[in-house]
């Protein structure tokens, strides 16, 4: 039996497309599987997951699971910083206006207002918890990024903001006896009962094997999906698993067409596509093409500080015009000692490739960076499934609309992490997780089909997404993408894997197909979603979110 995704709005995607047919990726027999119990389960250990756990642990016991170590997340890789109104020249109204303008008409204004007003207090709290933000005269220092009309991006140890925040949160969590962390634990699927309430997860612990964690409340904080693309700033863990497991459980998703591409990623053959932070442009770096011409002024009056979608598309156009694979970031006018202190990570990276910033240009091009769409949540971080919450990059709260303002993501994770932890723990009755659980027995038919090289499928999929569902899109390529992924799904989705590599491959196929379908359905250009065949914004038909869920 197949189950087609259900789109609430717009034209239907390709009829021929098969969607994920299975409720669970693995066989389950709850009686014979090792079991754990918790009041609150947090899946993911970025800023949102940690902040949720800390809040929930005020009222109940918490387990955090993460598929690698707690040090490996999109949060930990964040360079630029965390945006908030932290200096006297700035106002909430200005931050709100910048966020709404960048979001291209589909931000949720109530959410924007509430998140931005909560920022300063929660950032001060991070400081109190030991985050070593860079300070000026005893106050948190702020810098500028594209789309912001005031310097409001707080940073730590220069460009190591994410790592420094992560370390402070790990320490805070480690001091709390109500929180237990399970690293190298892969969450395979959400468990739901006959009333479609979330009752925990089935997962795989690297040491102990298959496990069920029964949870009174579950918080999805699994982060991003940049690894669905060949070119990305994201770490290897960012494969979009949370979106796929939510989809299989019947959770409503929205705006999966909105993948944000970061304009400046280091482009050197053999190097990882490392982020070259936007704050460099905020502090005066300029973009040059391969003829040494500064081109951004031809595309937008704010030049290098235009919103990210505009800079990314301008770079792509300039690369095509000049028949080049990349453009350059020029920082030759920076003082070398200042650069090394302010951007230590990037400085070290460039030195390792013998790039002397005093003389050499930095080769860059855009790559996939941040998943704006995801699990639809309300102002209390609730999903449409009872006992299931979402926060951080996996959640689609309405803060970013169709385009995210730089450094608003750590802010969102912090604010919604706190909300999710609070609401989840308040609705937990002590000991609820230990109540009687249903018997879950799920058996997948045996498949005789050929063995599979999951790594090869993943590489082909990432290349396909980069080519066809990238910075610009059009119907013919989106249709082709759906057909190719559907074909791959036929022989990948019938397999039963026993390790994360295979489950990730299955999840990636699911999420990529949903993204291609959503991008096909949105027949207009808005924010990060640019359709070459529909280059204008169509408020009459598309000033709204595109929702998808699996027909149960």
Q: What amino acid positions are annotated as catalytic residues?
A: 308
Site for ligand SIN (CB under 6 A): which residue of 277, 347, 427, 510?
277
Specify the residue, 167 or 278, whose C-beta has the smaller distance to ligand SIN: 278
Encoded one letter per residue, x for contact with ligand SIN by CB under 6 A and - for no contact, window 41-80 reads -------------------------------------xxx
| Distance from C-alpha of 415 to C-alpha of 116, rounded to nearest angstrom | 9
CB 224 within 8 A of CB 370: yes
Q: For ligand SIN, which residue of 189, 241, 255, 278 counts as binding (CB under 6 A)?
A: 278
Site string for ligand SIN, 247-276 (x = CB under 6 A): ----------------------------x-
Nearer to ligand SIN, 90 or 547 (CB): 90
Three-state secondary structure of 69-121: CCCCCHHHHCCCCEECCCCCCCCHHHHHHHHHHHCCCCCCHHHHHHHHHHHHH
CB of 379 to ligand SIN, least distance (A): 22
Q: Does 409 bind ligand SIN (CB under 6 A)?
A: yes
**Does residue number 142 form part of the binding site for ligand SIN (CB under 6 A)?**
no
Judged by beta carbon, residue 277 or residue 427, the one nearer ligand SIN is 277
Nearest to 328 by CA among 363, 359, 304: 363
| Interface positions, 317-376, toward ligand SIN (CB under 6 A) | 369-370
Selected range binding ligand SIN among 214-222, 334-342, 404-412, 414-422, rule: CB under 6 A: 404-412
- Give the whole-angstrom CA distance, residue 116 versus residue 305: 21
Q: Kindly list the strands in the beta sheet with 153-154, ordered across the sheet, starting from the edge strand earlier in the chain.
A: 82-83, 153-154, 142-143
Instruction: Check if the beta carbon of residue 367 is closer than 8 Å to that of residue 262.
Output: yes
Interface positions, 522-541, toward ligand SIN (CB under 6 A): none
In this structure, how many other beta carbons lie within 10 angstroms of the beta carbon of residue 140? 22
Please give the backbone phi and psi of residue 29, each rounded to the nearest 5 degrees, phi first.
Answer: -135, 100
Q: Which of 242, 374, 406, 417 binds ligand SIN (CB under 6 A)?
A: 406
Q: Coil, strand, or helix at residue 266?
A: strand
Task: Give 38 or 407: the residue with its C-beta nearer to ligand SIN.
Answer: 407
Q: Which part of the chain contacts ligand SIN (CB under 6 A), choosing from 17-25, 296-304, 403-411, 469-477?
A: 403-411
**Closer CB to ligand SIN, residue 329 or residue 493?**
329
Closest CB 82 distance from ligand SIN, rounded Å? 8
Nearer to ligand SIN, 64 or 368 (CB): 368
Min dist CB 248 to ligand SIN, Å, is 29
* Whether the Cβ atoms of residue 507 and residue 245 lie closer than 8 Å to each other: yes
DSSP state of 323: T
Contacts of 345 (CB under 8 A, 6+ apart): 79, 158, 159, 160
Q: How many chain residues are in contact with ligand SIN, going by CB under 6 A? A: 12
The answer to whether the beta carbons of residues 284 and 144 sit under 8 Å apart is no
C-beta of 72 vs 233, nearer to ligand SIN: 233
Cα distance between residue 145 and residue 60, in whole Å: 39
- Tell me if 407 contacts ligand SIN by CB under 6 A: yes
218 phi, psi to nearest 5 deg: -125, 135
Determine, following the binding rule CB under 6 A, whether residue 222 of this chain makes contact with ligand SIN.
no
CA-based nearest residue to 371, from 245, 259, 486, 493: 259
Q: What residue number has its CB nearest to ligand SIN?
A: 80
Backbone φ and ψ for 86, nearest 5 degrees, come out as -125, -5
3-state secondary structure of 473: strand
Q: Residue 411 CB, nearest distance to ligand SIN (Å)?
A: 9
Per rule CB under 6 A, is residue 235 in the interface with ligand SIN?
no
Residues at the interface with ligand SIN (CB under 6 A):
78-80, 275, 277-279, 369-370, 406-407, 409
């Amino acid at each position: 039996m197949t189950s087609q995704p259900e789109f609430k709005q717009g034209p239907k995607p390709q009829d021929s497309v098969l969607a994920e047919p299975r409720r669970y990726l693995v066989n389950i027999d709850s009686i014979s599987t090792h079991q754990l119990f918790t009041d609150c389960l947090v899946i993911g250990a970025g800023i949102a997951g940690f902040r949720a756990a800390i809040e929930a642990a005020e009222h109940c016991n918490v387990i955090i699971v993460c598929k690698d170590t707690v040090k490996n997340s999109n949060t930990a890789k964040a360079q630029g910083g965390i945006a908030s109104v932290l200096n006297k020249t700035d106002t909430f109204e200005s931050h709100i206006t910048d966020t709404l303008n960048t979001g291209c008409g589909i931000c949720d204004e109530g959410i924007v207002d509430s998140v931005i007003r909560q920022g300063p207090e929660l950032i001060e709290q991070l400081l109190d918890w030991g985050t070593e933000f860079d300070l000026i005269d005893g106050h948190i220092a702020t810098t500028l990024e594209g789309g912001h009309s005031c310097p409001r991006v707080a940073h730590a140890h220069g460009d190591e903001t994410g790592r420094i925040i992560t370390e402070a949160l790990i320490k805070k969590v480690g001091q709390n006896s109500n929180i237990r962390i399970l690293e190298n634990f892969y969450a395979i699927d959400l468990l739901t009962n006959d009333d479609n309430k979330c009752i925990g997860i089935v997962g795989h612990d690297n040491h102990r094997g298959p496990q069920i964690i029964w949870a009174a409340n579950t918080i999805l904080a699994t982060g991003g999906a940049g690894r669905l693309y060949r070119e990305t700033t994201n770490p290897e863990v960012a494969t979009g698993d949370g979106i796929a497991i939510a989809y299989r459980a019947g959770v409503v998703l929205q705006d999966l067409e909105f993948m944000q591409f970061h304009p400046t990623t280091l482009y050197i053959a053999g190097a990882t596509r490392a982020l070259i932070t936007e704050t460099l442009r905020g502090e005066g770096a300029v973009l040059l093409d391969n003829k040494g011409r500064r081109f951004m002024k031809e595309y937008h009056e704010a030049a290098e500080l235009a919103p990210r979608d505009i800079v990314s598309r301008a770079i792509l156009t300039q690369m095509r015009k000049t028949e080049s694979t990349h453009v350059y970031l020029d920082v030759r006018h920076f003082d070398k000692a200042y650069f090394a202190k302010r951007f230590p990570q990037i400085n070290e990276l460039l030195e390792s490739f013998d790039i002397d910033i005093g003389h050499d240009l930095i080769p860059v091009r855009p790559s996939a960076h941040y998943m704006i769409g995801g699990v639809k949540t309300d102002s209390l971080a609730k999903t449409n499934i009872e006992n299931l919450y979402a926060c951080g990059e996996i959640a689609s709260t309405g803060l970013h609309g169709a385009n995210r303002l730089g450094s608003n993501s750590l802010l969102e994770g912090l604010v919604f992490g706190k909300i999710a932890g609070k609401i989840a723990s308040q609705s937990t009755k002590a000991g609820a997780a230990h109540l009687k659980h249903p018997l879950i027995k799920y058996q997948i038919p045996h498949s005789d089909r050929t063995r599979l090289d999951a790594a090869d499928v993943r590489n082909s999929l990432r290349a396909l997404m980069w080519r066809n569902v990238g910075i610009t899109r059009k119907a013919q390529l989106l249709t082709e993408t759906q057909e190719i992924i559907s074909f791959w799904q036929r022989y990948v989705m019938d397999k039963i894997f026993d390790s994360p590599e295979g489950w990730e491959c299955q999840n990636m196929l699911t999420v990529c197909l949903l993204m291609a379908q959503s991008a096909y359905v949105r027949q207009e250009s808005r924010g990060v979603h640019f359709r070459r065949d529909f280059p204008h914004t169509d408020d009459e038909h598309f000033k709204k979110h595109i929702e998808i869920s699996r027909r149960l």
